[in-house]
Amino acid sequence: MRPLEPISQPARLWLGVSFFVVFFAGWALATLGGYVPKIFLADPITMVEDGWRLLTKFGFGLDIAITIWRVVGGFVLAVIVAVPLGILMGAYKPIEAFFEPFVSFARYLPASAFVPLLILWAGLGETQKLLVIFLGSVFQIVLMVAVVVGNTRRDLVEAAYTLGSGDRSVVRRVLIPMNAPEIAEILRLVLGWAWTYVIVAELIGSSAGIGHMIIDSQALMATGQIIFGIIVIGVIGLVSDFLFKLVNRRLFPWRLA
């Protein structure tokens, strides 16, 4: 092992998988070995059985679908607002000066604390759930996109000007394509955070979704179900992360060149 030395693809895969194995083995040892009481933490086998029952008998698939829809819906709304605004703020300093202080402030307002207010305003329906995700994501995306766009290499912008670009053309033909991979990376990151908000939104006043199932299971002391729910979220996160990376690699081949 030496600093920054790359490793081969199979080795990377093998090492990545082996930590999961270690983790599950540790969990199995702690629970099946009797070191942790069942009330507090279900063992892996119970978890899988509970999960299977949830999926086959209690229609947990629908809950998963609803949660995914909420995350994606709220997130897409946030992207539609935040990405153009972030690009404008990065490109034009007066626009940045106008929005930046407020957005920086709003970024620290915890989305989960808005849940009671949003219930008051929007009721218990889907709008409220989407709004939680939206509020949790939109300010983060705006700020991060603005910073990335604002840090575009000046010499590339200057090169475009000497090639005849006007101001709008510099935004469209330099700032956006240059930073597109970085923006995609920001979206990948924030989508991960959006998952944490949706569960909070579903814990209160919800009749469906993964978070709702978790809160129901708590009343029944069904730790196996809770853990299954949490693991499902993790797996969905992993899959969406993977898809994001795959799409990025397809869209921005120049980054790998």
Partner 1 sequence: MSKLIVENLSRVFPGVHGGAAVTALQPTSLSVGDNDFVTILGPSGCGKSTLLRMIAGLDRPTSGTITLDGRKITGPGPDRGMVFQSYTLFPWLTISENIAFGLTEKGMNPMEARDIVAAYIDRVGLKGFENHYPKQLSGGMQQRTAIARALANDPAVLLLDEPFGALDNQTRALMQELLLGIWEREKKTVLFVTHDIEEAIFIASRCLVMSARPGRIKADIAIDLPYPRHYTLKTSPEFSSLKARLTEEIRAEAVLAAAH
Q: Which residues bind partner 1 (CB under 8 A)?
A: 155-156, 158-165, 169, 173-174, 177-178, 180, 252-254, 257
Cα–Cα distance, 127 to 124 (Å, whole number): 8
Rounded to the nearest 5 degrees, what angle is found at the Cα of 198, between the Cα atoms of 192 and 202?
Answer: 155
- Residue 251 token pair: 């869209």
The residue among 32 and 156 lying less far from partner 1, judged by its C-beta, is 156
What is the smallest separation between the CB atom of 157 and partner 1, expressed in angstroms? 10
The residue among 178 and 200 lying less far from partner 1, judged by its C-beta, is 178
Decide if 179 contacts 148 (C-beta within 8 A). Answer: yes
What is the smallest separation between the CB atom of 80 and partner 1, expressed in angstroms? 23
Cα–Cα distance, 252 to 257 (Å, whole number): 9
What is the smallest separation between the CB atom of 177 and partner 1, expressed in angstroms? 5
What is the smallest separation between the CB atom of 175 and partner 1, expressed in angstroms? 11
What is the smallest separation between the CB atom of 248 and partner 1, expressed in angstroms? 13
The label of the residue with tokens 């080795």 reads 11
The residue among 95 and 157 lying less far from partner 1, judged by its C-beta, is 157
The residue among 58 and 158 lying less far from partner 1, judged by its C-beta, is 158
The residue among 160 and 230 lying less far from partner 1, judged by its C-beta, is 160
